Amino acid sequence: MREKPATVTGYEFDELRSLIESRSGILFDASRERFFSTRVREFVAERGLQGGTDLLRLVSSSNVEYSALLESLLTQETSFFRYPAVFDALAKKILPELQEKKFWDNPRTLRIWSAACSTGEEPYSIAIAVADALPFAEAWRIEILATDISRRALQHAERGVYTGRSLDNLTPQQIENYFTKTRHGYVVKPRIRRMVSFAPMNLTQAVYVGRMDCIFCMNVLMYFAEERRNSVIQRFSECLELGGYFLLGHAESLSSVPVRLEGLVLGDCRIYRKPAKESAVKQAVMAEGSL
Ligand SMILES: C[S@@+](CC[C@H](N)C(=O)[O-])C[C@H]1O[C@@H](n2cnc3c(N)ncnc32)[C@H](O)[C@@H]1O
């Protein structure tokens, strides 16, 4: 006789949705209903649970089980140089500007944050763009902080071994310069690997990361509810240096976010900058209608 599939009621799905939203910020709305319910049912079956009540009890009482459920629900699609226009803006506008601004600093540091870095392609792309754009990268202290809520994704990132389509946007020259081909795939070379530090971090929890020259936060805030998204962006804006840059994914924008960053259109992308003077930030905060 076939086993009856475990049942999760509408009420239990709602409870799970609100638990996940309150802990991770990720909102599973109607547009992702099918994905959510399928993954939850699979998790219930894998654990041999009776149904939604058992599942709620399990994930509310065990952080390990909660994290395992969350891992199964995360979308981790990414690739090297995912939006070429953004990396063009980094190479042609942001890095030259920072290079000029910091040229006489001692030490000459550059701090970039890849918030929600998934399996590492984004922070390594940033490191490659920096190595390509800065003529004497060794003369700089380059710190690329790469964080994500998913420990599984971070383990992949730390290994730095890549295969398949995620490499498609790299040029043959970049592959040759920055990767070693092995039988497991393309391995990021130490000079790129050294620039990046990986750490687990939940964006909904305020953690002090110091001042950043540039923050990439791509393709994650679109899964957050509006209020939560706004408060995370507010925190990003506070930790940016004056004149620092903020970069979102190409389908995302700050147009309805009450944070005062200047929007600049460069080629095919829109990037955001914190005004270079404190007084301009204050004025912008008072002005209506700015971004
Ligand atoms: C679609 S990937 C984006 C990866 C990369 N930024 C890009 O655009 O290619 C979204 C990432 O956000 C992470 N994520 C989701 N919620 C998060 C949270 N609350 N804190 C930190 N990372 C989170 C997921 O684990 C996933 O790796």
Question: Is residue 272 situated within a structural domain?
Answer: yes
In a domain, 5, yes or no: no
Distance CA 91, CA 86 (A): 9
245 Cβ partners below 8 Å, 6+ apart?
94, 213, 214, 215, 271, 272, 273, 274
Say yes or no: 56 and 89 in one domain: no
Same-domain check for residues 174 and 89: yes
Count of structural domains, the chain: 2
**Which among 28, 49, 73 is the end of a domain?**
73
The answer to whether position 142 is within a domain reads: yes
Instruction: Enter the tokens of residue 147.
Output: 């964080």
Q: Which pLDDT value is given to residue 250?
A: 85
Ligand 1 mean position to 151 CA, how many Å?
11
pLDDT for position 141 = 94
Ligand 1 geometric centre to CA of 89 (Å): 22
Å from CA of 21 to ligand 1 middle: 14
Asked whether 185 and 161 are in contact (CB, 8 A), the reply is yes
Predicted confidence (pLDDT) per residue in 240-288, tens digit:
999 999 999 988 889 888 888 999 998 889 999 999 887 665 554 443 3
pLDDT value, residue 255: 82
Query: Whole-angstrom Cα distance, residue 39 to residue 70?
Result: 10
Report pLDDT digits (tens) over 166-207. 999 999 999 999 999 999 999 999 999 999 999 999 999 988
Q: What is the 70 CA–ligand 1 centroid distance (Å)? A: 12
Q: Kindly state whether residues 64 and 90 are assigned to the same domain.
A: no
Please state the atom number of ligand 1 nearest to the C-alpha of residue 78: 9
Residues within 6 Å of ligand 1 by CB: 24-26, 74-78, 82, 116-118, 122, 148-150, 153, 201-204, 218-220, 249
Question: Is 235 within a domain?
Answer: yes
Residue-wise pLDDT tens digits, 84-125 = 999 999 999 999 999 999 989 988 999 999 999 999 999 999
Residue 75 CA: which ligand 1 atom is closest?
1
Together in a domain, 128 and 68: no
* pLDDT the model gives residue 289: 32
Confidence of residue 3 (pLDDT cuts 50, 70, 90): low
User: What order do you get walking across the sheet with 269-273 strand by strand?
Assistant: 196-200, 141-148, 109-115, 212-217, 240-248, 269-273, 262-266
Q: Are residues 159 and 262 in the same domain?
A: yes
Counting from 1 in the atom list of ligand 1, the atom nearest the Cα of 121 is 9
Residue to substitute in 112, 118, 125 for testing ligand 1 pocket (most ligand atoms within 8 angstroms of CB): 118
| pLDDT of 283 | 53
**Residues 9-25: tens digit of each pLDDT:** 999 999 999 999 999 99
The number of the ligand 1 atom at minimal distance from the alpha carbon of 24 is 19
Indicate whether 1 belongs to any domain: no
- For 89, the domain range is 84-286
Q: Which of 27, 44, 73 is the last residue of a domain?
A: 73
Tell me the pLDDT band of 135, cut-offs 50, 70 and 90. confident
Whether 142 and 190 map to the same domain: the answer is: yes
Do 67 and 92 sit in the same domain of this protein?
no
| Whether residue 123 sits in one domain with residue 59 | no
pLDDT on residue 257: 86
* Vertex 290 angle, CA 284 and 291, to 5°: 110
CA 279–ligand 1 middle distance (angstroms): 33
pLDDT score recorded for residue 253: 87
Q: Could you tell me if 247 and 103 lie in one domain?
A: yes
Of 66-80, 132-146, 156-170, 224-238, where does mean pLDDT reach its minimum? 132-146
Residue 137 predicted with pLDDT over 90: no
Q: Are residues 51 and 100 in the same domain?
A: no
**Whose alpha carbon is nearest atom 25 of ligand 1?**
150
Residue 117 has which token pair? 């870095």
- Both 116 and 43 in one domain: the answer is no
Tell me the per-residue pLDDT of 21-65, one tens digit each, with 9 for 90 and over: 999 999 999 999 999 999 999 999 999 999 999 999 999 999 999
Measured between alpha carbons, how far is 195 from 144 in angstroms, rounded to an integer?
6
